[in-house]
């Protein structure tokens, strides 16, 4: 794989918290255009791994490179958008409208304080349209459903035209229909814009149906490309334990779930 196609490279990474190893000997790479699901049991280290990739948390050993640059020297953070678990946790009286909140995504190093230009508002409108939020663009955030709020925060991320989007369990508490719409929008983003996506999730069906790669995290990190011949149960048992059994079920993208792309 050519070096220029590498978005993220993790080599021999170990992460400790409070004197305990949380991640050990992690080795994987993410290429441009990958759509990656990060799965594993609670407490397995998924959020810790994301925090290290974002340089929120130091690594004990090994190396992390973003777009070919060691993370300690990486400066081009405008290439990366991050949506946390707490992104939509705010009061229902939060005063901003959808359009106003999405517009905050255009603010980045180098343009703080300047007036918005026509191209900025165009990026905002395009992001709102792409995420299917035109009908609620002038509503206050607090008036939206959980699924709509999540799409607003993706739209906010898109307004800055990132090359990599990291999401940490973005749809906790959202109903199954809203979840499916959300993952479909991420698929559209990945396919149409070639945006690289890394998402921590417990929705295994969406991972194995829609995504191109999976990282199973349970202290150790196992990377696998999602292909028709991948034995998902065998892979997941190594992370979740031998008792675990993944039951395939119907999915709108293909009628019957298979280990492949929709």
For position 49, what pLDDT does the model report? Answer: 96
Q: Tell me the β-bridge partners of 61.
A: 14
If phi over 0 gives left and psi between -120 and 50 gives alpha, with beta otherwise, what is residue 83? beta
This prediction has a pTM of 0.85
Residue 101 lies in a domain: yes
Residue 258 lies in a domain: no
Residue 249 lies in a domain: no
How sure is the predictor about 257, in pLDDT bands with cuts at 50, 70 and 90?
Answer: very low
Half-sphere exposure of 79 (CA within 13 A, CB side): 14
Long-range contacts of 90-93, Cβ-Cβ distance < 8 Å, separation of 24 or more: 90/141, 90/142, 91/142, 92/142, 92/143, 93/142
SS3 12: strand
Q: What is the pLDDT of residues 51-72, one digit of tens each?
A: 999 999 999 999 999 999 999 9
**CATH code for the domain in which residue 229 is found:** 3.40.50.300
The range of the structural domain enclosing residue 232 comes to 3-240
Strand-by-strand arrangement of the 213-218 sheet: 80-83, 164-168, 196-200, 35-39, 213-218, 220-225
Residue 111 lies in a domain: yes
Q: What is the pLDDT of residues 78-97, one digit of tens each?
A: 899 998 876 666 666 778 89
Q: What is the pLDDT of residues 110-155, one digit of tens each?
A: 555 557 788 888 989 999 998 889 999 999 988 888 888 888 988 9
Residue 252 lies in a domain: no
Residue 257 lies in a domain: no
Is a pLDDT exceeding 70 seen at residue 44?
Answer: yes
What's the CA gap between 70 and 104, in Å, rounded?
A: 28
Residue 225 lies in a domain: yes
Residue 248 lies in a domain: no
The count of domains in the chain is 1
């Amino acid at each position: 794989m050519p070096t220029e196609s590498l978005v993220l490279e993790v080599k021999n990474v170990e992460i400790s918290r409070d004197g305990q190893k949380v991640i050990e000997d992690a080795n994987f790479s993410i290429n441009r255009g990958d759509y990656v699901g990060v799965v594993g049991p609670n407490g397995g280290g998924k959020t810790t791994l994301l925090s290290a990739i974002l340089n929120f948390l130091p690594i004990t050993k090994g190396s992390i490179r973003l777009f070919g640059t060691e993370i300690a020297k990486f400066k081009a953070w405008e290439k990366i958008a991050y949506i946390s678990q707490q992104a939509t946790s705010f009061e229902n009286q939060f005063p901003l409208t959808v359009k106003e909140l999405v517009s905050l995504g255009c603010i980045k190093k180098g343009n703080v304080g300047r007036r918005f230009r026509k191209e900025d508002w165009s990026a905002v409108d395009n992001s709102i349209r792409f995420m299917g939020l035109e009908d609620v663009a002038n509503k206050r955030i607090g008036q939206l459903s959980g699924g709509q709020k999540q799409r607003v925060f993706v739209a906010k991320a898109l307004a800055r035209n990132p090359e990599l989007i990291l999401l940490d369990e973005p749809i906790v508490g959202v109903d199954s229909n809203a979840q499916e719409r959300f993952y479909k929008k991420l698929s559209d983003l990945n396919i149409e814009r070639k945006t690289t996506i890394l998402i921590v999730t417990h929705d295994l069906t969406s991972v194995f149906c829609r995504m191109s790669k999976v990282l199973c995290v349970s202290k150790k990190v196992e990377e696998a490309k999602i292909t028709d011949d991948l034995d998902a149960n065998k892979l997941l048992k190594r992370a979740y334990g031998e008792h675990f059994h993944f039951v395939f079920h119907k999915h709108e993208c293909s009628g019957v779930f298979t280990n492949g792309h929709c």
